[in-house]
A and B are shown apart, each in its own frame.
Chain A
């Protein structure tokens, strides 16, 4: 039933009308024009949208985290952040709101693809302890880590911005290229962002010493 294009599109339209994120599935690409049209109609039906005050504050906080070597200095971002917050609809004063918050993320759920299948991604002997290896199992990207004879895996997509992480061997963590966020091999955020943990990925070691990740075709 859900495979019918009208049903697929109705699910997407319902999500849009409820203000939900666009979550598209493989077969949805067949109706890409209709989907972008639906997004366009949903996005313009209530006129130009302004940022939610909470998002403006988060944006100011994120800019505060920009590297110092950038042209925007920490102090400038802080001051600009204060200016932003002063204009926010809440009218609340932020003071040191641009300081990083303690890590309070959740996340960490395992990715269990519909009709998932185990995909061979590496030999156990090819994995070095303490080193993250990027693997792809169909539509699932992951970093696998060896610990003795067992292996763990986390998603290779940042839990905040949808960017592909990279293995920072120097610091022993997974770094996001889109903003200064990093995650430990078990997926926990290791900096001061209040980010959710990375999703975990199902992984197993076969009796033949092969590493398999639960991915897609």
Chain B
């Protein structure tokens, strides 16, 4: 969608074709690009309500400022710069995190193609692969298989309390995993 000239769009009554002015092209492309922005943000906040709010913030900040006839690459760069800024504000407000602490998330390169590679399940696998067996298992069961704590405890022949502590330690360890290597 992103690269297509927006000559026509279905809409209106009875399949009526609406001709789009050439000037709308940059905006139309930018709106398609917001799908990538949404995936980028969702992969970092992990839930739909926050991802939607932040994507909307990016759209409202960035799109009015985009120049007409801007190339798609410039639009993407601007949108993702705005997205990183909005995400930085989100985490710093919620947790008091500085940009330096968010370096790994904020410095990620702008995705070149859809779907962005950083948003795929391979990210989870790369993180989990660097953890010890028990840590990897507890996070796999919870995040990939959706197990409750009680189910994880049963699976790992442990107690809920012990699994809860293990989950905390596993996530602390996961936070230290560097993905760029």
A residues neighboring B (CB under 8 Å): 5-7, 9-10, 13, 15-17, 19-22, 24, 28-29, 31-52, 55, 58-60, 62-63, 66-67, 70-72, 75-77, 79-80, 82-87, 93-95, 160-163, 178-179
For the residues of A in contact with B, the DSSP-based class is: helix
Which residues of A have CB within 8 Å of B153?
Answer: none
A40 in contact with B59 given A77-B27, A84-B31 (CB within 8 Å):
no
A80 in contact with B24 given A44-B121, A48-B115 (CB within 8 Å):
yes
Task: Give the Cβ gap from A161 to chain B, nearest Cβ, in Å.
Answer: 6
Alpha-carbon gap, A40 to B171, bound state (A): 10
A10, A46, A48, A93: the one within 8 Å of B149 (CB): A10
Minimum CB distance partner of A86 in chain B: B10
Is B52 located at the chain interface by the 8 A CB criterion?
yes
Which residues of A have CB within 8 Å of B121?
Answer: 44-47
Task: Give the Cβ gap from B39 to chain A, nearest Cβ, in Å.
Answer: 4
A63 touches B35 (CB 8 A): no
- Excluding A36-B105, A48-B43, A93-B12, 7 further A-B contacts by CB distance (< 8 Å) are A22-B50, A55-B52, A59-B55, A80-B27, A86-B9, A86-B10, A162-B53
Which residues of B have CB within 8 Å of A39?
Answer: 44-47
B57 touches A161 (CB 8 A): yes
A79 touches B21 (CB 8 A): yes
A42 touches B171 (CB 8 A): no
Which residues of B have CB within 8 Å of A37?
Answer: 127, 171-172, 174-175
Which residues of A have CB within 8 Å of B176?
Answer: 33
A38, A48, A93: the one within 8 Å of B116 (CB): A48
Is B49 located at the chain interface by the 8 A CB criterion?
yes
B11 touches A49 (CB 8 A): no
Alpha-carbon gap, A92 to B124, bound state (A): 35
A52 touches B48 (CB 8 A): yes
Which residues of A have CB within 8 Å of B47?
Answer: 15-16, 19-22, 39, 42-43
A45, A59, A63, A83: the one within 8 Å of B9 (CB): A83
A41 touches B124 (CB 8 A): yes
Alpha-carbon gap, A104 to B28, bound state (A): 29
A17 touches B18 (CB 8 A): no
B64 touches A17 (CB 8 A): no
